[in-house]
Amino acid sequence: MVNSAVLAPGARIVVRDSEWLIRKTLKAAAGSRVVIEVIGVSDFIKHQIAHFIADLEDDIVVLDPKETKLVADNSSGYLKSLLFIEANLKQTAPTDSNLYIGHKAAMDTLPFQLDPSLKALKMPRQRLLIADAVGLGKTLEAGILASELIRRGKGRRILVVTTKSMLTQFQKEFWSRFTIPLVRLDSVGIQRIRSRIPTNHNPFHYYDKAIVSVDTLKQDREYRTYIENAYWDVIVIDEAHNVARRGKGQGTSLRAKLAERLATRSDSLIMLSATPHDGRAESFASLMNMLAPTAIASESDYSKEEIRDLYVRRFKKDVKDQLAKNFPERNAIASCG
The answer to whether the 4-91 and 102-326 domains have the same CATH topology is no
Buried b (16+ CB within 10 A) or exposed e, 4-26: eeebeeebbbebeebbbebbebe
What CATH topology corresponds to 102-326? Rossmann fold (3.40.50)
Integer Cα distance of 39 and 62 in angstroms: 14
Quote the pTM value.
0.77
What CATH topology corresponds to 4-91? SH3 type barrels. (2.30.30)
Residue type, 13: I
| DSSP 8-state secondary structure symbol assigned to residue 94 | P
Structural domain boundaries in the chain:
4-91, 102-326
Q: Evaluate whether 221 touches 194 at the Cβ level (below 8 Å).
A: no
Going residue by residue through the chain, which has 337 residues, state the pLDDT in tens, using 9 for 90 and above: 566 557 888 899 999 889 999 988 887 666 667 888 999 988 888 878 888 888 888 888 999 888 888 889 999 999 999 999 998 888 888 889 999 999 999 998 899 999 999 999 999 999 999 999 998 999 999 999 999 999 998 998 999 999 999 999 999 999 999 999 999 988 888 888 888 888 778 888 888 999 999 988 887 677 888 888 889 999 999 999 998 987 554 445 788 889 999 999 999 999 999 998 888 888 899 999 999 998 888 888 888 889 999 999 999 899 888 887 765 555 556 666 5
